[in-house]
Amino acid sequence: MFGTRARSASDAAVLRRKGHLKEQDKFIQFVLDMHQTHTTLEVMQKMDRWIAEHRKDPRTSRLRRMVPTIGNFFVPLKLVDAFLEYDEFFALSRRQYVHPNFAELRHIFNIAQVHSSAQSLKLITFDADGTLYADGAHIEHDNEMIRHIIALMRSNIHVAIVTAAGYPGAPERFEQRVEGLLAAFRQLNLPQHITDRFHIMGGECNYLLRVAGPDKRLQFVPDAEWKSQFMQSWTEAQCQRLLDDAERLLLEGAHRLRLPVQVLRKERAVGVVPAAATIYEVLEELAITVQNQLQAELPFCAFNGGNDVFVDVGNKSLGLEALMNHLACTPSEVLHVGDRFSDTGNDSATRDCCSILWVANPEETDFFIKLLLNDLMKRRINSAYIDFQVV
């Protein structure tokens, strides 16, 4: 009826490029809005003061009143310094008519977060798809992050991959995702006290794996060694009821949106994969539908994976808290790196238990980890100098 315009308007590839739902955050939007009446430097000066105030009293702070959904800042941030560092290369302050965009502010916050977290870091965790490697891929032998991960482990820092992927009883399936990394462990013949610092948390919070044996293979850590009492109390019947209800809501939502889907059911997760071309906004609608309508006895995570929508039993916050207890780390000593911190992203829950780095792709992850490793080297040099002075 609408001729060529109809074909253009229904082109999923064109529509997908128009979506900005991955760049949603009430706090960053608040900072963006401040640029209507402030320069970026003035905004960061106020943010430094308000964040320091919020850290002292999160319940009644000015930031809490202006952004009611704001969480905690587990370490102090120096946003003015981060802005000046970013501005030196990108001349943000020289722009007269165009304000910073979402990604630029995210970068400034990330720089401040890296510099602050480097002072006390003991555990860094990574999302997998879209963070360490492209969606649907895995860690190949030439992945730049391999040497960064090993450098972090050699710096006495625990490294974990926290992912929605879950393969109960099949460690070899997890090994396929990180084969390049495990091969490097074997090639370098890393000693056990180094490889003991690497873990994989699968199924959001349902499976924990470690490196074991001279052949550097993955093995499951027994639940009793790391799961909280609350997590161990979940019954199989409760989990299946949650997944049954989630599957029903996903199918009802897909039918309402006229989206043909395939259902994928796992031990602790259920999801739908579009069987026809669609756009990000449709998947967002499905995820929010489940978030708003699913009544469950147990915690769950309903998230838009970009190419699918999944519902998992539990969430990354529970998994990360359990891992932190297992490794004896406090929130100020932990940093999570992920690409999905919007309302329908499965990294969002980690904000409740540690600091975060919000990246858009593996290339950004590589950049910020290089920055972190540089700060860690400076920390070691300063520590050695202080020890020398004491002696």
Q: Measured between alpha carbons, how far is residue 135 from residues 37, 61, 64, 172, 335 in Å?
A: 39, 39, 35, 20, 22
Contact 300, 246 (CB under 8 A): yes
The residue type of 138 is: H
* 294/284 Cα distance (integer angstroms): 15
Torsion of CA 257, 259, 264, 268, to 10 degrees: -20
Torsion of CA 285, 288, 294, 295, to 10 degrees: -150
Active-site residue, from 48, 127, 245, 339? 127
Active-site residue, from 129, 245, 312, 339? 129
Burial class (CB in 10 A: 0-12, 13-18, 19+), 225: exposed
Query: What does the block give as tokens for 347?
Result: 């990294």
| Annotation says 343 is catalytic | no
* 134/126 Cα distance (integer angstroms): 13
* 152/159 Cα distance (integer angstroms): 7
| Annotation says 129 is catalytic | yes
Contact 370, 150 (CB under 8 A): no
* Closest to 100 in 3D by CA, of 19, 156, 16, 33: 33
Contact 373, 379 (CB under 8 A): no
Give the residue numbers marked as catalytic. 127, 129
